[in-house]
């Protein structure tokens, strides 16, 4: 065996021993660790997640303001939605605005927001509370899907045993504003 | 091995071992723990690699005032139960445990495997779909799902889980151009009484069917494989 070959054998042996000592070869990897993050500071958001988070915050802000047309500015015209857990899915921004206009306004406190997104789609789960005029607090969560800064999917879910009562006041100022915007006088 | 060869190999091994020991954490001069710190390994002791006691992370820049995380120790009972279901959902897919997986699924589940699809109803169609994408009832498909982020909100018997999943749909050279590719997917599960009542997958990057510049037929759940016929159809 040449000197060079002997050196190669020695270093191969050394590498094998080192690998065994640090576990690189001997330790079989687990198929699934179930280790995952449950906290994602906003500083870690990628730009798509940041954009989605801002759209959802704007949703809450405009809802609280009572202005349906401002709310609609953050919603995709082809949105899929469900305003109450017991209802079936609705489609389209116009229908969404007609459905929620009577419920807008009031105190909505956004507590938690968690976003997962990339360059095509982002999903957002929120925890929030609503306080009605009698001081009754409802604990709610909402799921949003956001694309390019617009909400393309929204559904509300109640985290109380009983969902809050619908507040439909079909002739409110907000609903009149929606009607006017959707059916402008010719 | 001759004595001569052994004498040449031993210094190499010794030098390697010395290098490893020098690089290992055990050789770092230990600092005394702050007063009141539990001994390593004791309940309440910080995990290895954690910052020393008393260290406070500096605040990170942020735009919003909402919370963007939660400590699993603060889960309420419904949230804890829902996370267990979500973990089992992944685990049974990876272990090809069809019965275990379908045991997590509500008879009338509402689901959609991609945002381009209309939501579908019923455990039977769900089962059919999972066969199609290499889920639990399909032992021959080499699929692997992992979970990287998770958030849960719930109470009073129901909870919603949003988590980040990365899928390997098969080795390179299989599963079309997806073979070997880690597909990032946001997953929403709505869970009531230990069963998944809603499931929505949302690929987050341009591998999503909806982002492709061509259309793909997505009628897999319309074909009912024999092993799925036993599950209820569901109703709207």
Q: How far apart are CA B208 and CA A171, in angstroms?
A: 42
DSSP secondary structure code for residue A165 in this structure:
P
Question: For strand A75-82 and strand A150-158, is the pairing parallel, antiparallel, or unpaired?
Answer: parallel
Q: Where are the domains of chain B?
A: 74-228
CB contact under 8 A, B153 and A41: no
The yes-or-no verdict on residue A12 having pLDDT over 70 is no
Task: Search chain A and give the residue with CA nearest B212.
Answer: A120
Q: pLDDT tens digit string along B6-43?
A: 556 555 555 554 444 444 443 334 455 555 566 655 66
pLDDT tens for each residue of B174-184: 767 778 889 99
In the block, residue with structure tokens 């390019």: A148
Instruction: Residue B158: list chain A partners with CB under 8 A.
Output: 157-159
pLDDT value of residue B27: 38
Shortest Cα–Cα distance, B86 to chain A (Å): 11
Considering only alpha carbons, which residue of chain A is nearest residue B150? Answer: A38
The residue in chain B having the minimum alpha-carbon distance to the alpha carbon of residue A39 is B69
The one-character DSSP state at B64 is -
State whether B68 and A116 contact (CB < 8 Å): no
Mean pLDDT, rounded, for A103-109: 89
Question: Can you give the pLDDT of all 236 residues of chain B as single tens digits?
Answer: 455 555 565 555 555 544 444 444 433 344 555 555 666 556 666 677 777 778 877 788 899 999 999 988 899 999 999 999 999 999 888 888 888 999 999 999 999 988 988 899 999 999 988 865 544 445 555 678 899 999 999 998 899 999 999 998 878 887 677 788 899 999 999 999 999 999 999 999 988 777 877 776 655 556 788 888 899 988 87
Q: How many CB atoms sit inside 10 A of residue A80's CB?
A: 20
Query: What are the tokens at B86?
Result: 């979500």
Tokens 């305003």 sit at which residue? A83
Q: What ipTM is given for this predicted complex?
A: 0.78
Distance separating alpha carbons of residues A2 and A162, to the nearest angstrom: 83
**Domain A42-182 sits in CATH 3.20.20.70:** no
Residue B145 has what DSSP assignment? E
Taking CA atoms, what residue in B is nearest to A51? B63
Portion 49-88 of B in contact with A at CB < 8 A: 60-64, 66-72, 87
Q: What is the pLDDT of residue B143?
A: 74
Q: Please answer yes or no on whether A112 and B208 come within 8 Å at the CB atom.
A: no
Dihedral angle sign, alpha carbons of residues A152, A158, A163, A167: negative
For A20, the enclosing helix (H) or strand (E) is helix A3-22
Interior CA angle at B150 toward B144 and B152, to 5°?
130
- For B:191-210, CB contacts with A below 8 A are 202-206, 208, 210
What is the model's pTM?
Answer: 0.77
Of the candidates B68, B155, B186, which has its C-beta nearest A41's C-beta? B68
Given B12, B87, B155, which is nearest A159 (Cβ)? B155
What are the CA-CA distances from residue B232 to residues A160, B29, B105, B119 (Å)? 29, 64, 11, 17
* B3-23 vs A3-22: helix crossing angle, rounded to 10: 40
pLDDT of residue B28: 39
List all residues 6 or more positions away from B164 whose beta carbon is below 8 Å from its beta carbon.
A36, A116, B147, B148, B149, B150, B184, B185, B186, B187, B204
The dihedral built from the CA positions of residue A93, A95, A96 and A98, taken in this order, carries a sign that is: positive
Phi, psi of B164 (to 5 degrees): -105, 130
Q: What number does CATH give the domain B74-228?
A: 3.10.450.50
Q: Which of B66, B181, B182 to mutate to test the interface with A (most CBs of A within 10 A)?
A: B66
CA dihedral B20, B22, B24, B27 (to 10 degrees): 150
Q: How many CA atoms lie within 13 A of A163 on its CB side?
A: 13
User: What's the residue count for chain B?
Assistant: 236
């Amino acid at each position: 065996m040449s000197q060079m070959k002997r050196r190669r054998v020695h270093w191969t042996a050394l590498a094998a021993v080192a690998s065994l000592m640090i576990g690189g070869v001997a330790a079989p990897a687990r198929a699934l660790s179930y280790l995952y993050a449950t906290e994602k500071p906003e500083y870690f958001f990628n730009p798509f997640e940041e954009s989605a988070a801002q759209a959802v915050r704007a949703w809450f802000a405009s809802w609280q303001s009572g202005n349906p047309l401002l709310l609609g500015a953050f919603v995709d015209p082809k949105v899929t939605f469900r305003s109450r857990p017991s209802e079936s899915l609705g489609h389209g921004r116009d229908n969404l605005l007609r459905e929620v206009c009577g419920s807008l306004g009031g105190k909505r406190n956004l507590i938690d927001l968690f976003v997962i997104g990339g360059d095509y789609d982002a999903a957002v789960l929120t925890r929030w509370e609503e306080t009605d005029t009698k001081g009754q607090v409802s604990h709610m969560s909402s799921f949003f899907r956001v694309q390019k800064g617009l909400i393309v999917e929204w559904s509300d879910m109640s985290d109380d045993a009983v969902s809050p009562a619908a507040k439909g006041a079909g002739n409110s100022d907000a609903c009149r504003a929606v009607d006017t915007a959707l059916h402008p006088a010719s | 091995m001759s004595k001569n060869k052994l004498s040449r190999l031993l210094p190499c091994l010794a030098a390697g071992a010395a290098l490893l020991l020098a690089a290992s954490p055990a050789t770092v001069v230990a600092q005394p723990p702050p007063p009141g710190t539990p001994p390593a390994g004791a309940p309440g002791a910080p995990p290895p690699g954690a910052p020393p006691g008393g260290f406070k992370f500096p605040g990170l820049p942020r735009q919003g005032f909402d919370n963007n995380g939660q400590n699993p120790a603060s889960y309420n009972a419904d949230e804890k139960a829902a996370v267990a279901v979500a973990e089992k959902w992944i685990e049974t897919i990876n272990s090809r445990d069809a019965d275990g997986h379908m045991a997590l699924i509500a008879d009338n589940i509402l689901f959609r495997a991609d945002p381009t699809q209309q939501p579908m109803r019923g455990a039977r169609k769900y089962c059919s779909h999972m066969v199609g994408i290499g889920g639990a009832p399909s032992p021959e498909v080499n699929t692997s799902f992992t979970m990287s982020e998770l958030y849960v909100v719930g109470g009073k018997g129901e909870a919603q889980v949003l988590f980040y999943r990365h899928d390997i749909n098969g080795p390179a050279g299989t599963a079309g151009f997806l073979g070997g590719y880690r597909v990032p997917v946001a997953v929403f599960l709505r869970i009531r009484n230990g069963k998944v009542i809603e499931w929505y997958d949302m690929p987050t990057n341009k591998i999503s069917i909806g982002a492709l510049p061509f259309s793909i037929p997505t009628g897999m759940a319309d074909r009912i494989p024999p092993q799925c016929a036993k599950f209820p159809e569901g109703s709207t």
